[in-house]
Every structure is written in C-alpha cells, then in structure tokens.
Structure 1
Amino acid sequence: MALDVQRNWDVCMAENLERVTKESDQPKDKKDARETTRAEKPKIWKSEPVYLPDEIIIQILEYVSRFHESQYTLASCCLLSRQWYSAAVPMLYASPYLYGKNFDPFQAVMIPSRNLHVRDSPLASLVKILDLRGLVHQASRRITARLLGRTKGNLEAFIAPQASFGTNSFAALAKCHQLRILDLSLVSESPPLFELLKTVSRLDNLTTFRLPRSSGFSTDVNPALITWPRRLENLALSGGIDAHFMHGIVALPSTLRSLTIEHCPSAKGFALMHMLRAAVRPLAHLETLKLANLPRLSGSACDNVLFILPGLTRLSISVDYITPALFDFDVSSHREAIECHYPTLPHAESLPTRHQWTDGKQCELRTLELTNSGNPGVEDKVSPIDIVIALDEGALPNLRQVRVDKTLLWQASATAADVDALADALKEAAVQRGEDESTSTGVWTF
C-alpha cells in the first residue's frame, strides 16, 4: 500500500510540474489577460435581496440629500427598484441643482406641453426650491415664466437667473402662494420696480425678498403707494434706490428683522440717514442691518448708525463709511442726528439725554462684521484697539463676536497682538456676565 501511495504521489507531482511548465511557456500578456478576465467576471447574486422598510430608506436618503453632490446619488437610487424610486424621487426634485447641461432635460420634464391644460407633469409639484442662478443664456423669459407656472403649487424658494426674468413672469409669480424666499439680486435687466413690488405684495407667506441690483425707481411713482408683503422679515434693497425713494418712503413692514442696503450707486449719506431715522428706527423687531457697496457715501457717513439704532444685535458695515466715532454714544457728538430727528429743538439744552434717546436701553450689538467695499486706503480706519477701548468704556456691553474681512489685514503681524487683546476683552466681557465664552466669543476673519 505504501508503494501505491508513493506511485500516486509521483504521478500527481509530475502532472503539476507539466502544467506549470506549460503555463510558464505561454506569453506573459496572454496569461495576464486570462487572469484579468477571470478576476473581472461579475458575481451572480443568488440570494434574495434584503428588504428594508420605507422608513429606513427615507432616513438614509434624507441623510444623503444633505450634501451638494447628492443629486447624482439620488438619481442612481431611483434606478434600484420601485420602492427606492418612490422614496428618492421627491428628494431628487425638491431642490434640483441646475446648470447648463442638465437644464434642457429638466425643463422638458417640467414642461411636457405648451398647453397647461393638455398635459401636466406629475413631477412639477415636487419642486420646492427653483434655483436658476447657475444659468445665463440657457433659458428664455418664456421658459422661466412657464417653469414658475408649472411649479407654483408647492414652490417655497425662487432664485431668478441673470438674463431670463421679466414682466411675463409676474402672473405666475403672483400665484406662488407658498413662496417664502424670492431672490432677484442677479437679474441684470430689472422689470419696472413698482409693478414688481405690486406683484410681490400678494405673496402672503413671503419672508425674504431681495431686489435686483439693476432695479430703478421712477420719480413718477409715489413711495407711499408701495405695499409690502405682510410677513416680510428679510429685505435687501439694491439698485437705483435714490434720495427720492429714501425720503419718500413712508413705512417699512413692522415684521422686518433684517435689512440690507447694498449696491446702490445713487444712494447718498443724508438720504440714508433720513431713512434710518424715519423708517427703520420705529421697527421694533429689527435685529440685523447690512450696509455695503454704496459708492456715494463719504468716509464717515455711517458713524450715527448705532446711535440711531441701538437695538441692533448684528451689524455688517463697510469700513469705507465709518470711523471709530461709530462706537461713541455721547449725545453731544450726535447733535446733528438728533436735531434732524427733532427739527423743532431750539437750544442745545433741549437735547434729550442718552437715556431718553435710547428709551433706557444699552447698545444691544452682539455681532459686528467689518467689510470692505473696495476703496483704497481703508485698512487703518478702524483698528482692533478702537473696539477694545469701546469695550473698556462700556459702550458695547453685549458685543461677543467680531468678524473682519481679510482684505483689512487684521491678521498681519503688526496687528496680531491687538487682535488677541480684542479676543481676550470679548471673552472677559462674557465671563463678567456669566455667559459661556468658549464657543461663540472671539474674532474671526473671512
């Protein structure tokens, strides 16, 4: 038996040796090609697919949809099965990412027929955010109007394209009753401003409205006739807003919490201050004000902003229009602003005290953002030490965050120590009031 085993072992060894020899004699490229083909052979799924409840699939897709590039993933999920399609397609069309190449297929799905009553797209009602900012000449005004008409049922946010928004979109826009955000800031050729505001006033759920940078205001229009949406909270004024508008405006919506005035080449300093005193100061809920890119303003035109609006909690302002006097709340330093607000005051002794002017409130500013509108030589107008002095004097008791544009060069070695001193002063002020200074207190550049 031992002899038979040895003979069989020798035979096996001989066969293995012969096979190895033959393989080694083959060209290397053929051998590698055979191994590659064998490695790339797809595996056959033999077991039953794992069933997941709808709730778990929806939770997975909700996590995926948070990311910017999720559109490709959601489109792939729609191809897996009917179950995955039903769960993924509402998220895919809720906020589509549109650009040049995919806009034509998207609008073909949204607008399968020119006649609205002949053929409708079941996917149009899924669109909640229609963001067309990535388009320049891909769309036409006719297509934009039709898209608004098809998606008006559940549309919550609309960001207009640069070149394809006009008066023919007003009829569809007025029917977007669920619209909460309307951003027209990129529109290069603005429709008539009064007609636009008249259309927007019908949107009862609108909370955020940004005017086009190209908007113009005709002297034939009475600002007193303007009606604002009744729930408007965030308003951005841009374009040809001039002294006629700022002096003639009667009232802004009382619900306003944030006001932005930027890219207004015709706005002058005295008109802006009049608007802040007459129309903005009475707003009880206003928390945020942003002033930027106002080329006709002088280097100290906005020094009265915090004195006029002590209730602001966030101020974003270009250093082009301010000096350290922004943090001076002495009544005598702002005599001109007070006399403009009370034009009947006969003598300096009649000026109200700071307590009377602010109704007993301290400056409530918590976040100060300093930007740069591009004018040369403004880097040294406001320094970190100016804010440190204001903190030491108690002028800014609630200030906790300072954000600074990188172009102001606060991060340079010459001012690095002053920035550290400001950060320490902000943290010390928070500690003195018993607040947590570890997360929301400090100095940031952007």
Structure 2
Amino acid sequence: MAQEEIRQSYTSLSEPPTRLKLSLCTNQYSPLHNITTAAMANKSRPKKVKAPYRKYVGGQGYITNNNTTTVTTINTDPTASTNTDIIYSGSMEEPEQADEQFLKNFAHSTLKDSNDIIETPQGLYYYDELNESIVHIEKSSLSNAKFNKLKRFIVNRNKDKNNQEMPRTADSTSSSEQLPIQEQQMTLPWEIQKMILQYSEVIEPSFLVVCKTWYHLCIPLLYYSPSLTSKNFNKFVDAIISNKKKKLGEFVQELDLSTILQSGKNSFVSKLLRRCSPGLTKFTAPQTSFGFAPLISLKACHQLKYLDLGLVSETVKLQELLAAIQNFKHLTHLSFPRSSIDCEGYREFVWPTNLKYLKLSGGITNEFVCETEWPKTIKTLEFSYCPQVDEHAIYIVLSKIGDNLTHLYFHYPMPALNEHSLDHVFRYCSNLITIQLMVDYCSKWCFSEYMLTPLLIPRPLTTIYLQSSGSLGIGAKIHPDDFTIALWEKRLPCLKSISVSSKLGWNATSDGVEDLVSALEEQDASLYVSY
C-alpha cells in the first residue's frame, strides 16, 4: 500500500504542463507538504540519516544539507483539504477565475500566518511562522502575469488586515479618520524637499544617509561651494580626483582657494580645475601653487563668471592669461595677479564680451593701459598696486570708458602717482555712484567747483570712501569744510554716505566735523569713520 502511494506521488509530479513549483527552505519536515525521495530501491536496507544542518545562502534563504528536494504544489480546487498536499492542475492560459482561486488557496493555506512579504530581484520571500522557515517564491517558476497577480493579492491582503486591526475612536465621524495609517501620513513631493534643502543654511554630511533620493539631492548642495582650509584640502582633492565614476567635481560651482597656504601643489590645483571645469562659475586662486599647469587647465573652465587671481604671488605671463580667458563668454569679474610682469601680446587680445568688473594690478605697463581697446561693458574699475602706471595712463583709460563707469577704486600704493594726480577724476567720470580715493594722491581741489562741474542731471554719486596711508602731513590735505561747502552748494545732491579713514586725524568734536554732520543730515546722509 505504501509503494502504491509513492508511485502515485511520482506520477503527479511528472506532469510539467499542470504543475507550479515553489521552492521551500525549511529546517524541519512539515505535514502540510509532500516530501519525495530520489530512490527507494530496497525497503529492507536501512537508511542513512544525516543530522539536519541549515546554511544561509544569499538570495535563497536557509537550505539543508540533505539530498531531499522539498516541493510544494498548489491546487485550485477549493474543496481540497488544507492538511493534505495542495495540487494545482490548471494550465497557464486558464481564465482569471481559476487564477484568483489559485491565489486565494495559496494565500489562505500557506500565508495564513505570514505578516509581510519582501520583493527582491530573485523573487518574493516571506516567513512561515508555522514551520519557522523562510519561503522563496521563485519568479522563474511563474509567468509574469501570475507573479504580478500573486504580489498584488498578497499586498492587498496585508492592507486589508491592517485596516481591520486599526483602532477606531468613538467620535470619529470623518472619512479621513477611517483610512489606514499609511494613507493618513502626508508625504512632501521630492520637488518641495529639494527646495527646502536649497534654502537650508547648512547641509550636513549626515543628510546623505537618510535615503537614496536625499543622497542625490544633497550631493550637489554639499559640493556647491566647499569651505576649504589647509587641514581638509588634501581630503577634498582625494575625493574629487580619486572618485572618477561619481564625478563629484561636476557639482562644484564655487571654488575658493584663498585660504590654502603652502599645502597644495601645482598638479593638485590643475587637476581640480579639470575635474570641476564643467560647472565651475567662480574661482579664487591660491597665493601659491598657481603656475603654468593650472593656467593651462583654466582654459577648460568655459562657464566661469568670476575669476580672482589677485592673491597669486608667482610669476604669471599676461599673454598666457589673456589667451586662456579670451573665450570665456560668461566672464563678468576679472582680477589680475599682483605679480604679473610680462605684457607682450596685448594688442591682439580680445576681451570677454560680458566683462563688467576689472581689477588691474601687478606689472602692467603704461603702453598696455594706453593702447588696449577696453570693452565698453566695464562698470567697475580698480587700480591696486600698479607701480608702472602713471597719471597720464589713468586718464587715458578714463577718457575711453569713464562715462560708463559706476564704481571706481584706487588702492595704496601707486608709486608713479603724485599728491595731486587724482584731482581731475570727476571731470572724466560723471556717472559714478561709488568712488574710493587715496588722500595721498588727491587734494581739496578734487571737490571744488572746478572739478565738480554742473551736469544736465543731478550727479548720481552716493558713496565716497576716503582712505589714507597714514603718512605725515596727509591729514591736513583735506578738511571737513571741503565737503561741507560742496554739500551746501549742491555739488553732491545725491550723496548718502562718507566713510573717512581714522588715519586722517579728524576730531569728532571739532566745529568742522559738526558742520559736516549737520549738512549731511539735511539730505539724510551719514558720516562714518573706518579703522
């Protein structure tokens, strides 16, 4: 009788068109499943029994070391007993009613004690509490349609179970309170979360481990404008240069190396510029480690809008610099290096078309200043430590672009200028809004009626910075009464602020300063003392 039952089991398992196999990883034999052995030739021969040993295999779960194969077959017959083998005898093309019945029988018989199902690329997994085992539903053993139906059926079953277990209050009348807890929780769209992160003052590195989406949202913000010092510069270089696949340099848009002192190499700066070139818009060069190689790499940064080389102490040839930036269509701010000495090739140079701010410094010559075709788009012009530029060259520049300037700054020292060199600035620049003058190179005649001549429209000058080097005799060159008379005679009708260096030695309690303050208050202006 036992041999007849085994023969029938082999016959039922040998019909591939009418079977659906699910591999079950268990550590004990369950009475709910039919376990068949490979060979039973001689019943009288004693069987070799091996101790059960469970081993975890990635993607499969726990497996045993015996040679038996655990096979579970599922039947769509609703009258079949749950305590016997469940056999599914329908074909893959049967109607949807048979599929639904198959899913119900499978779920109620096998998953009745399961709480959760996990989806992986290898298939579905669930934990069978009755047998204390992990069950793997292989996707390859099911068609795509049946696999998706099975997944939807189990998810809906768990959702219905959660709805039944959710407690209800006695005074709950709104329909929203009857929804499951998962649906009551409000989730912000990713676009809103991105805007919130963009307005955050600080992006912490811990934000990257919240989830995968936050990682992709925070990485561009974290590398947008890194704060670099001599301590973390080498780590930053390793992160940008070593991780070529992540391409973290493409997220850097503002790179400030002004705080890097004696900790970088030309090769490091050159590689950084190449890695960050796709999105770099603002770059401040370091004091050292900016030689020929970084200058060549600078050519690849076509998106630059701000380029500050004012701190560079190494020798930079202006011809190479001008050749590197001539194709920068978006460049608006440019500061020359203070150590540049070679000005050859400036006649063939083409300035960037959108240049608005220019700071001249270093070894530029009078020929370069006088013969260069300055772009008409410049609105702000600065002179900072130009030892070879004299008074004649400055007024040549102002005669070409002086009417377009709105901001003009002079810094100390300018050795080629004398004590009255800047007295005629207002004759060439009638549209200035802000001006900074060095008392070392101007006098009280700068604010007289001969220089501040009447215009067709009120002079738009609003801010004056008066600086001094502190040399002997400089404080007596300009008196507060010179400004007071100019204000009373309406030469500066739009003036709102005067900032005076404390090195001029003006006494805050003197009559001249009090009269100046009264004149400024009449047109809602202020007087400041800078230290």
* TM-score, structure 1 as length reference: 0.71
Cα deviations across residues 28-61 of structure 1 (Å, max 9, x unaligned)? xxxxxxxxxxxxxxxxxxx999965545544443
Percent same amino acid at aligned positions?
32
List aligned pairs for 1:173-212, cutoff 5 A. Answer: 173-212=298-337
Once residues 206 and 305 of structure 1 are traced to their aligned partners in structure 2, the CA distance between those partners, rounded to angstroms, is 27
The amino acid across from 1:391 in the alignment is: L
Shift of 1:83: 4.3
> Aligned in 2, Cα 1:374/1:144: closer, same or farther, shift over 3 Å?
farther
Are 2:528 and 1:444 aligned?
A: yes
**2:426 aligned with 1:426, yes or no?**
no
For 1:226, the aligned partner's letter is F
3-state DSSP class of the match of 2:231? helix
- Inter-CA distance 192–396: structure 2 relative to 1 (3 Å threshold): same
Runs of 4+ aligned residues of structure 1 deviating over 4 Å after TM superposition are 47-53
DSSP-derived class of the 2:410 partner: strand
Counterpart of 2:225 in structure 1 is 95
1:236 aligns with 2:356: no
Aligned residue-pair number: 347
User: Which residue is 1:166 aligned to?
Assistant: 291
Question: What is the rounded CA distance, in whole Å, between the counterparts of 1:413 and 1:54 in structure 2?
Answer: 58
SS of aligned partner of 1:402: strand
Q: Quick one: which amino acid aligns to residue 287 of structure 1?
A: T
Which range moved further: 150-159 or 399-408?
Answer: 399-408
Partner of 1:301: 421
Distance 1:197 1:206 in 2: 12
Matched, 1:289 2:408: yes
Residue 149 of structure 1, CA deviation: 0.6
**Do the aligned partners of residues 86 and 178 (structure 1) sit closer, same or farther apart at CA in structure 2, a change above 3 Å counting?**
same
Q: Secondary structure at the match of 2:204?
A: helix
Residue 328 of structure 1 is matched in structure 2 by 448
- Give the superposition deviation at 1:210: 0.3
Instruction: Tell me the distance in 1 between the aligned counterparts of 2:346 and 2:490.
Output: 40
Provide, for residues 235-292 of structure 1, a one-character-per-residue CA deviation record: whole Å limited to 9, x for no partner: 000011232323333x211111100011112222233233323x333xx432111011
Q: 1:374 to 1:212 in 2, by over 3 A?
A: farther
Q: Distance in 2 between matches of 1:100 and 1:300?
A: 44
Aligned counterparts of 1:182 and 1:322: Cα–Cα separation in 2: 31
Verify: 1:104 aligned to 2:226, yes or no.
Answer: no
CA distance in 2, matches of 1:280, 1:329: 23
- 1:317 paired residue among 433, 437, 440: 437
Paired residue secondary structure (2:300): coil
Alignment of 1:29-428 (within 5 A): 53-55=189-191, 57-65=193-201, 70=202, 74-112=204-242, 119-218=244-343, 221=344, 223-249=346-372, 251-277=373-399, 279-281=400-402, 284-293=403-412, 294-330=414-450, 360-410=456-506, 412-415=507-510, 418-428=512-522
The alpha carbon displacement at 1:306 in A equals 0.8
Output the CA distance in 1 between the equivalents of 2:449 and 2:264: 52
The secondary structure found in structure 2 opposite 1:111 is: helix
SS of 1:100's partner is coil
Measure the CA separation in 1 of the matches of 2:521 and 2:356.
Answer: 31
The answer to whether the Cα contact below 8 Å between 1:363 and 1:398 also exists between their aligned partners in 2 is yes
Partners of 1:132 and 1:123 in 2: how far apart? 17
Q: Secondary structure of the residue that 1:317 maps to in structure 2?
A: strand
Distance 1:58 1:271, change over 3 A: same
Bigger share in strand? 2
Structure 1: stretches of 5+ with no match in the other structure:
1-46, 114-118, 335-353, 430-436
CA distance in 1, matches of 2:503, 2:188: 53
1:133-174 superposed Cα distances (whole Å, 9 cap, x missing partner): 111221111111111111111111000011111222233322
SS at match of 1:158: strand
SS of 1:64's equivalent in the other structure is: coil
Q: Which has the higher contact order (CA 8 A, sep 6+)?
A: 1
User: RMSD across aligned C-alpha pairs, in angstroms?
Assistant: 2.6
**Cα–Cα, structure 1 residues 56 and 376, in superposed 2: closer, same or farther, change >3 Å?**
farther
Separation in 2, partners of 1:50, 1:167: 56
The 1:131–1:364 alpha-carbon spacing in structure 2 relative to 1, beyond 3 Å, is same
- CA deviations 1:62-85 (Å, max 9, x no partner) are 3433xxxx3xx5223334443443
Question: Match for residue 14 of structure 1?
Answer: none
Q: How far is the alpha carbon of 1:217 from its aligned partner? A: 3.6
| In 1, Cα distance between equivalents of 2:475 and 2:416 | 19
Cα-to-partner distance string for 1:374-407 (whole Å, 9 max, x where unaligned): 5343233223221111111222222222122333
**Alignment partners' CA distance in 2, 1:385 and 1:226:** 46
CA distance in 1, matches of 2:487, 2:476: 19
More helix by share: 1
How far did 1:425 drift? 2.0
Structure 1 residue 314: Cα displacement: 1.1
Paired amino acid for 1:318 = M
SS for the counterpart of 2:404 is: coil
> How far apart, in 2, do the equivalents of 1:104 and 1:111 lie?
10
Letter in 1 for 2:411: A
Once the 2 structures are TM-superposed, how far is the Cα of residue 328 of structure 1 from its aligned partner? 2.2
Q: Would you say the 8 A contact 1:186–1:213 is kept in 2?
A: yes
Please tell me whether Structure 1 or Structure 2 has the larger radius of gyration of its CA atoms.
2
Q: SS at 2:368's partner residue?
A: helix
Q: Give me the whole-angstrom Cα distance separating, in 2, the residues matched to 1:361 and 1:328.
A: 18
**Displacement after TM superposition at 1:93 (Å):** 0.4
Aligned counterpart, 1:17? none
| CA 1:408–1:81: 2 relative to 1, 3 Å | farther
Alpha-carbon distance in 2 for matches of 1:85, 1:407: 53
How far, CA to CA, are the matches of 1:129 and 1:312 in structure 2? 30
Alpha-carbon shift at residue 312 of structure 1 (Å)? 1.3
